[in-house]
Chain A
Amino acid sequence: MCTVCGCGEGEIQVEGQDHQHDHDHHHHHHDENGRQGHTHDYGQGPAHAHAPGLSQSRMVQIEQDILSKNNQYAAANRNYFQQHGILSLNLVSSPGSGKTTLLARTIGDLQAEYAISVIEGDQQTANDAERIRATGAKAIQINTGKGCHLDGHMVGHALETLKPDRGSLLFIENVGNLVCPAAFDLGEAHKVAILSVTEGEDKPIKYPDMFHAADLMLLNKIDLLPYLDFDVQRCIEYAKRINPKIKVLQLSATTGEGMQNWYQWIAASRQMAQVGNPAVPA
C-alpha cells in the first residue's frame, strides 16, 4: 500500500481518473540500506547495543484508532463540504432496495431548486452513474473492485473530479451492503438508510450497526404493502430500539407517495449545513 496518500491495492477506480501517482514511490524499496529488511546488525537497534542475542524488543504505546487514517480523510471532506455549504448525504442500503430509483426521482423533482451531484459506489460497472447522468445531474462512478464499501479517501479523490457547486446537494450512493459502510465515515452530514418493504422488517436488528449509524431511515416501496406481510410498526420499533434518535419516513419512489416529507427533510438539513456560512448563495 502507498503510505504517502494511503491508496489501497490499486483495485479502486474513480471514473475519469487514471489514478497515477506522481509522487515518488521509492519509499517502498526497503532494501536500499537494508534497515527495513531483516538485519542482523544489532547496533542499528534503538538501544544501539552490539551484543548479538540481546533482545532489542521494546514496547510502544500507540492508543490509536484503527480507522484514524480514514477519519482524517473524512475530516478533510467534511471541512470541504462546510466551506462550500454543501449538504452531503451518504445513502446506505442492501442491494435492490431501490436506492438508484429513489435518487433518480429525487433529482428529477429537486433539480430546479438545487444544484445536485452524485457519487456512485459499486463494485463494478458505471451503469448507475449513467442512469443518474440521464437525469441531468453531475455524477461520477467509483468502482471499489474487491472492496465492500466506500472510504473517505476514495470520496476525496472523487470530489477532485466532480467539483460539486457551492451550496449544492451531494448524494453519495454507497455500495449496496448493510455491514461494512457503517464503519467508514466519508465526511457526510448524515447517513440515510433505505429499507424496502420487500425485505424483512427485522433488518434493523439484523444489521444493527448500520441503523445505529444512520440519522434517517427511508422505508421504500410502500405501494407494495398490500401484497406483503410486512409489519411497518414493528420495523419502526426495531429501528428505534437500535437508535432512539432515528427518524423514519415512509415513501414510494415509484408512485411518489411520501416523497414530499423526504424533500422537506432535505431542505431542513440543507439549511443546517449552511448555517454560519454567509458566502453560500441562498
Chain B
Amino acid sequence: MHEMSLCEGVLNVLEEQAVTQGYSVVKRVWLEIGALSGVEPEAMRFSFDAVMKGTLADSAQLEIIHLPGEAWCMQCSKPVQVAARYESCPECGSYQLQVTGGDEMRIKELEVE
C-alpha cells in the first residue's frame, strides 16, 4: 500500500546524497527492513522499479536485508524473537512483551558510480 511512498522517500535520499557524496548513478541499494515495520518486501520490490524509472537509480538492484522482530519478555527476563506484534513469547506464552527491535526501515548502503 504505502510502499510506493516509501520508495519515493528512498529516491529523495538518493538524490540528496548524490549531491553531497558526488555520484550520478546508483547501481545497487541495500535496505534494512524489520519484520515489524509493516513493509511488505514484495510490494517494495514492485514499487522500487516503478519509482526509480528515469531517475539516477534507473534499473538499480534492490537488496533487502530482513531483520527479525525482537522483544523483551518480562516473564522470562530475556530477549526473544517474534514474527508479529500480536505474538506471545515463544518460550513462556506470555503477552508481556516489549518490542525492542524489528521496526527498522533504513537505507543501509549504496553501490554508486
Interface residues of A (CB under 8 A from B): 1, 3, 6, 8, 30, 35-36, 38-39, 44-46, 55-70, 147-149, 151, 177, 179-180, 182-184, 204-205, 208-209, 212, 238, 241-242, 244
Contact = CB atoms under 8 A, between A and B. Distances in A.
A46 B12 contact: no
Contacts of B27: 57
Interface residues of B, number: 39
Contacts of A61: 108-109
Contact of A59 (B2, B17, B37, B110): B110
B1 A62 contact: no
B113 interface: yes
A46 B22 contact: yes
B17 A69 contact: no
Nearest to A56: B113
Contact of A64 (B23, B24, B56, B106): B106
A6 B107 CA distance: 18
A67 to B, nearest CB: 6
A67 B108 contact: no
Interface in B1-53: 1-2, 5-6, 8-13, 15-17, 21-25, 27, 31, 36-38
B96 interface: yes
B9 A69 contact: yes
B99 to A, nearest CB: 8
Interface of B: 1-2, 5-6, 8-13, 15-17, 21-25, 27, 31, 36-38, 56, 84-86, 95-96, 99, 105-113
B1 A66 contact: no
Given A59-B111, A63-B108, A66-B106, A3 B1 contact: no
21 contacts: A6-B12, A8-B5, A56-B113, A58-B113, A59-B110, A62-B13, A62-B107, A63-B106, A63-B109, A65-B107, A66-B6, A66-B31, A66-B105, A68-B9, A69-B12, A149-B5, A183-B6, A183-B37, A204-B86, A208-B85, A212-B85
Contacts of B24: 35-36, 39, 44
Contacts of A55: 113
B74 to A, nearest CB: 10
Nearest to A9: B8
A66 B56 contact: no
Residue from B6, B86, B111 with most neighbouring chain A CB atoms (10 Å): B86
B112 A58 contact: yes
A86 B14 CA distance: 35
B38 A209 contact: yes
A66 B95 CA distance: 30
Q: Sorted from nearest, which 10 A-B pairs have the closest CB atoms? A: A180-B2, A208-B85, A205-B86, A209-B38, A60-B110, A56-B113, A62-B107, A66-B105, A66-B9, A241-B95
B11 A1 contact: yes
B111 A244 contact: no
A106 to B, nearest CB: 28
Contacts of B25: 38
A244 B85 CA distance: 12
Contacts of A3: 12, 15-16
Nearest to B2: A180
Nearest to B95: A241
Contact of B107 (A45, A64, A180): A64
B68 to A, nearest CB: 16
A66 B85 contact: no
B85 A1 contact: no
Nearest to A177: B1
A67 B111 contact: no
Contacts of B107: 62-66
